[in-house]
Amino acid sequence: MSAPTTQEVHGGVPQERRLVTSIPGPRSTALQARKVNAVSAGVGVTLPVYITKAGGGVLVDVDGNHLIDMGSGIAVTTVGNANPMVVAGVQQQVADFTHTCFMVTPYSGYVEVCEALNRLTPGDHEKRSALFNSGAEAVENAVKIARAYTKRQAVVVVEHGYHGRTNLTMALTAKSMPYKHSFGPFAPEVYRVPTSYPFRDRGLKGPEMAQIAISRIEKEIGAGNVAAIIIEPIQGEGGFIVPGDGYYAAMAQFATDNGIVFVADEIQSGFCRTGDWFASEYEGVVPDLITTAKGIAGGMPLAGVTGRAEMMDAVHGGGLGGTYGGNPVACAAALGALRWMEEVDANGLAKAIEAVMLPRLRSMAERFPAIGDVRGRGAMIAIELVKPGTIDPDADLAAALNKHCHMHGVVTLTTGTYGNVFRFLPPLTMPVPLLEEALTILEAGFESLAT
Ligand code: PLZ
């Protein structure tokens, strides 16, 4: 199959915002009532509109509302929902066979995805990959690999970091509520050091923040005890924090100089999201290991760890795996998604989204002093909201604006340690007029709420 036309990528979903009921509408409201009685209260919902169809930049709900999708299901449907190249791969594979377990009787799709990951991730050294089901599982396995390779135990993560919700990854994740609260005790040998958060670092630059972090590692942990340093090149759940220039590269260099495995968690920032295949490339960093998930397979659950052959192969046979890891249907989806990204120049699409969003948001920041910072790259862009004239977080305004966008048919997400960051993760198939319309609705929200 050759790359689908724009029309085909939209999957027959009209690319327009159209509200035919209030949000949520009556059918969604009825479903949400059933959800409350059937689904654990621990599983939250940001916007209880129930989706029946999606494509391009639009989500269609059970009441017939067409909403603009500025979240991609948290950075997952980068290639667009139901991208024809994903659909074709999945349909063929699901009709051929659905599962054998790669560890029992393997199949080529798994190997092909690993070959693609080895080729597309930064660095031209020899690499190996292993596939898993979720981002958290990939991060756990990166820790296992780093420990097996280095024969050390300590794992260093940074402030505002997010790596998942399993027991080990809760320990790696910074924020207590809602991720960790009441779920301890957490895994040992995890240490947190400063990140670089230019908006809040009181003028300290990237390299200076790296020096503070490195000194902490040397004095409080001992570099020789550290198996891995795990960092997101742009921190996602922490608030779309883009580190000051030089921080990320300095942390990677310190790891290399000290025999520490440098792990880039690119689960949110990977696969053309930032206008590069991987956000590490921006600083020219070649990670030892890279964890991927989300955008890899157009919505099918798949995750990977890719890295230096000698590290990946340091684990004893049978030490990595899982029943479903690299499921054949998920692999077929990934092969379709990755091929689409290569054929359409997905990085160019991400940069085009940035070119629309950043100037528009910057001019809004001049009008509305509540916008303290505009940041991000490609289709991973955010604004940080503060009490005007300060850097005090304004989470209430973020929540109110989010609600405003939702009520007007734009699916937006907030993020951040302080809950005050408004993040934008549109699919790369988002038509520019819809993107502009979403920003106009946001701007109207500021006009009514941020005076
Ligand atoms: N590492 C950098 O962004 C997932 C979490 C949403 P899983 N982020 C969205 C939520 O509230 O659970 C993420 C990430 C980074 C790891 C993960 C974990 O990926 O596929 O959710 O396990």
Give me the pLDDT at residue 451, please. 63
Q: Is residue 1 one of the residues assigned to a domain?
A: no
CA 370 to chain centre: 26
pLDDT band at 450 (very low <50, low <70, confident <90, very high): confident
Give me the pLDDT at residue 8, please. 87
273 and 215 in a common domain: yes
Q: Which residue puts its alpha carbon closest to atom 1 of ligand 1?
A: 163
**Of residues 165, 190, 168, the one with CA closest to residue 176:** 165
376 and 339 in a common domain: no
Out of 344, 360, 376, pick the residue that ends a domain: 344
Total domains in the chain come to 2
Q: Is residue 130 one of the residues assigned to a domain?
A: yes
Q: State which of 47, 183, 294 you would mutate to test the pocket of ligand 1, scoring each by most atoms of that ligand within 8 A of its C-beta.
A: 294
Question: Which contiguous run of DSSP H or E holds residue 331?
Answer: helix 328-344
Give me the pLDDT at residue 7, please. 82
Distance from Cα 253 to the centre of ligand 1, integer Å: 26
What number is the average pLDDT over the span 261-290?
Answer: 98
**Of residues 76, 64, 95, 5, the one with CA closest to residue 273:** 76
CA distance 257 to 34: 56
322 and 192 in a common domain: yes
Q: Is residue 81 one of the residues assigned to a domain?
A: no
- Which residue range is the domain that position 50 belongs to? 6-75+346-449
Query: What is the tens place of the pLDDT at every residue in 151-172?
Result: 999 999 999 999 999 999 999 9
**Of residues 89, 109, 103, 79, the one with CA closest to residue 6:** 79
Q: Residue 14: is its pLDDT beyond 80?
A: yes
388 and 334 in a common domain: no
**Of residues 78, 81, 85, the one with CA closest to residue 2:** 85
Give me the pLDDT at residue 45, please. 97
Which amino acid type is present at position 91?
Answer: Q
State which ligand 1 atom lies nearest to the alpha carbon of 293: 20
Q: Is residue 80 one of the residues assigned to a domain?
A: no
What number is the average pLDDT over the span 342-349?
Answer: 97
Query: What is the tens place of the pLDDT at every residue in 388-409?
Result: 999 999 999 999 999 999 999 9
What number is the average pLDDT over the span 182-187?
Answer: 98
Out of 282, 314, 344, pick the residue that ends a domain: 344
203 and 129 in a common domain: yes
State which ligand 1 atom lies nearest to the alpha carbon of 301: 20
CATH number at residue 268: 3.40.640.10
**Of residues 341, 328, 260, 345, the one with CA closest to residue 298:** 341
State which ligand 1 atom lies nearest to the alpha carbon of 164: 18
Q: Are 5 and 11 in contact (CB under 8 A)?
A: no
Distance from Cα 138 to the centre of ligand 1, integer Å: 10
pLDDT band at 220 (very low <50, low <70, confident <90, very high): very high
321 and 430 in a common domain: no
Mean per-residue pLDDT of the chain: 97
* Termini Cα distance of the chain: 52
Q: Residue 2: is its pLDDT beyond 90?
A: no
- For residue 261, the SS3 value is strand
125 and 254 in a common domain: yes
Give me the pLDDT at residue 1, please. 72
15 and 118 in a common domain: no
CA distance 234 to 361: 19
What number is the average pLDDT over the span 84-93?
Answer: 98
CA distance 401 to 106: 49
58 and 164 in a common domain: no
Out of 312, 328, 344, pick the residue that ends a domain: 344
